[in-house]
Structure 1
C-alpha cells in the first residue's frame, strides 16, 4: 500500500514538473514571438509617422502656394459688385469672414450677412414657412407656385436681399425690408440682417451635412435666389457633397445644379477662390460644380487656369476631375 502511494505521488510530481518545464518553454517562445511583433509594429509606427510628417510638409507647401496665388487669382474679378451672404445651419465652418475677405480682395463688397436658423430646415415648421411667405412678400413680388418650403423661402428672400436680375433695381422698399426681416426674426427663421441692402449676387454658406435638412431647404433656397437675381453660389465644407449634404442634394437635382453654382470645400483657400470665381461666372450666366467632392466638374472654374498661365496648373488646382 505504501509502495502504491509513493508511486502515485511520484507520478503526480513528474506531471507537475513536466507542466512547469513545458510552460516555461512555451512562455519563452511566446515572449520571443510577442517581442518580435512589438519591434515590427514599432518600426511600422515610425515609418507611418515619417510618412505623416512628409505629407504634412507637402500639404503645408501646397497651402502656402495656394494662399500666395489666391489674391492674384481673384483680384478685380468682382470689381464694384455687391454680394449678399447667407449662412445656413453649420455654415460657420465655411468661415464666413474669410469668404467675405476674399470677395473684398476681388473688388466686391458684402452688403450684409443673414443667418438662417435650424427652424427653417426643420420639417415640423415647414407649414410656418408656407404661412409666413405670402405675408412678408413685398408689394408687386410673386411667390413661385409650389408648396416646397425651400423654394418658397428663396422666393420670399430674393426680393428682400437681391436686386432685380433684369434691370438691377431694388424690388422692395426699405420699409418693406425692415418689416419682413422683423417678421422673420420674430418667427425664429433668421438672425442678423441689420443694415442689409440689396445685392447683385448671393453666396449661401452651408456645412458638411451634419445638420439635418431632410427637405433640402438650403439647396432649393439657393436655387430660387439664383433665379431671382444675377446669380448665386451654394458653398459648403468638405463632406457637403455627400448624399445628405446640401451640395450633394443640389448636384443630384438637375433643376438646382443647372442654375446655381456649387463649391464643396469653402473652408479652404482654394475653395474660397472657387467661390469668388464662380460668382464671376454667374454674372456671365455660367453655372458649375467645383471642389474635390463627388459631382465636382473641376477644382476651380476654368478662367483661373487661363489667368494664372500655368501657375495654378502646376499646383494641381486646374486638374480635371
Structure 2
C-alpha cells in the first residue's frame, strides 16, 4: 500500500525538476534559447519581406499585361463581328463590371448587343420543377422548331429561350416574331419568372454569348451543391439549343476547374458544337470572346484559354455582312482565312 512518504518523495521530485529547469533556462541555456528564437524570427521576417516583394512584382506584371491586352484588344477586335446582333444570356450572378466588359468588347468588334437576360434561380430550383413542367406545354405550341418527341422540360425551356431571343418576324427582320415575343413574356413573367430581362428586348439576335456564373461554394449543411449539380444539365441544354438554333454561340466562363461548365462541355457531347473561352474574369479572356464568336459563326468551333485541350487564340476569320432584307433575312457567310494558331 502506497504511504505518505511515497507521495512526499514524488512531490519533492517534481519541484526539483522545476527548479533545475528554471535554473538552466535562466542560466547556461538562456543565451542559447534566446539566440535560437531570435534567429528564427529574423529568418521568418526576411522570408515575409521576400514574399511581399515577389507578390508586388507579380501584381505589377499582371497589371502591365492587362493594360497591354486592354490597349491592344480594341485594335484586334475591329471588324471581327461586323453588324452582328448578339444576345447575352447570364447563367446566374456575375459581377456587373464583367458583364459590362463583355458588352464593350462585343461593341468594339462591331456587334450590337440586342438583349441581356439573366436566368433566375427558378430555372434550376428543384422546388420549381412542377411549375416548369406545367409551363413547357404552352411553350411547345409557340416554338418555330418543334422539339424532339422525347425532349424533356429542360430542352423545351432552352429552345424557348433561344427562339425568344433570335427568331425574327418574317415581314420585318428587325423585330421579333409574335411567337418569339410571347415566349419571352412567358419566361419572364408570372409568380416565378424564370429569367429577368435587362432593359427592353431588342432586335432578334444572330448569335449568343452565354456567360457562366461564378461557382458557389456551399457550406456542409447547404443543399446548394446538389442544386448546382442538377443545374449543369439545364445550362448545357441552353448551350445545345443556341448551337442548333443560332449562327454561333460562345460559352464565356471563369477559371477552368473540374466542376466548371467548360469542363462539362469539353468532356461531353457538345465539345464539337459549342465554343468556349475561359478566364473571362480577366481582360485577356474578355478580348477573346468576340474573336471566338466570329470563329464559331464561321464554323471553327474551339476551346480557348490556357491549359490542356485549350488553344490560346481562335483562328482568324472574315465574316461577310449580314443580309437583312426580307428575302434573305439573317443570311451570311463566314470564311476562315487562317488555320488554328
* The two structures share one fold, judged by TM-score above 0.5: yes
Counterpart mapping for 1:177-256 below 5 A: 177-185=180-188, 186=190, 187-192=192-197, 194-210=200-216, 212-216=228-232, 217-238=234-255, 241-253=256-268, 255-256=269-270
- In structure 1, the residue matched to 2:115 is 112
1:28 and 1:223, CA in 2 relative to 1: closer, same or farther beyond 3 A? same
For residues 236-255 of structure 1, give each alpha carbon's deviation from its aligned partner in whole angstroms, at most 9, with x where no partner exists.
122xx2232222221221x2
Q: Supply the distance in 2 between the matched residues of 1:268 and 1:80 (Cα, whole angstroms).
A: 26
Instruction: Sort the Cα spacing of 1:220 and 1:293 in 2 relative to 1 into closer, same or farther, 3 A.
Output: farther
How many aligned residue pairs are there? Answer: 289
Q: Give the alignment's Cα RMSD to 1 decimal.
A: 3.0
Once the two structures are overlaid, the 10-residue window that deviates more, 258-267 or 134-143, is 134-143
User: Which 5+ residue runs of structure 1 have no aligned equivalent?
Assistant: 1-7, 305-318
Counterpart of 2:157 in structure 1 is 153
Counterparts in 2 of 1:133 and 1:198: CA distance versus 1, 3 Å: farther
Superposition deviation, residue 123 in structure 1: 3.4
Measure the CA separation in 1 of the matches of 2:79 and 2:150: 39
- SS of 1:95's partner is helix
- How far residue 227 of structure 1 moved from its aligned partner, in angstroms, is 0.7
What SS does structure 1 have at the residue aligned with 2:214? coil
CA contact (8 A) 2:120 2:194 kept: yes
Describe the shift of the 1:206–1:60 C-alpha distance in structure 2 as closer, same or farther (beyond 3 A): same
Is 2:36 aligned against 1:22?
Answer: no
Tell me the alpha carbon deviations over residues 268-289 of structure 1, each in whole angstroms, 9 at most, x when there is no partner: 2211121101110121111111
Is 2:143–2:163's contact at 8 Å kept on the other side of the alignment? Answer: no
CA pair 126-27 structure 1, distance change in 2 beyond 3 A: farther
Work out whether residues 248 and 294 of structure 1, in 8 Å CA contact, stay in contact via their aligned partners in 2.
no
In structure 2, the partner of 1:144 is: 148
1:83 alignment counterpart: 86
Shift of 1:30: 2.1
Q: Matches of 2:301 and 2:125 in 1, distance apart? A: 28
Match of 1:286, SS state, is coil
Q: Does residue 1:265 correspond to 2:265, yes or no?
A: no
For residue 171 of structure 1, report the CA deviation from its aligned partner. 10
Whole-Å separation in 2 of the counterparts to 1:59 and 1:215: 34
Contact 1:264 1:293 in 2 (8 A): no
Larger fraction in helix: 1
Q: Would you say the 8 A contact 1:103–1:110 is kept in 2?
A: yes
In structure 2, relative to structure 1, the CA distance for the partners of 1:301 and 1:119 (3 Å cut) is same
Whether contact under 8 Å (1:93, 1:207) holds in the other structure is no
Report the TM-score, using the length of structure 2 for normalisation.
0.75
**Cα distance between partner residues in 1 of 2:252 and 2:150:** 25
Distance in 2, Cα, partners of 1:231 & 1:32: 68
Shift of 1:215: 4.0
Query: Deviations along 1:214-245, whole A, 9 cap, x unmatched?
Result: 2421122112111111011111122xx22322
TM-score scaled by length of structure 1: 0.80
* C-alpha displacement of 1:169: 6.0
Query: CA–CA distance in 1 between the matches of 2:103 and 2:18?
Result: 80
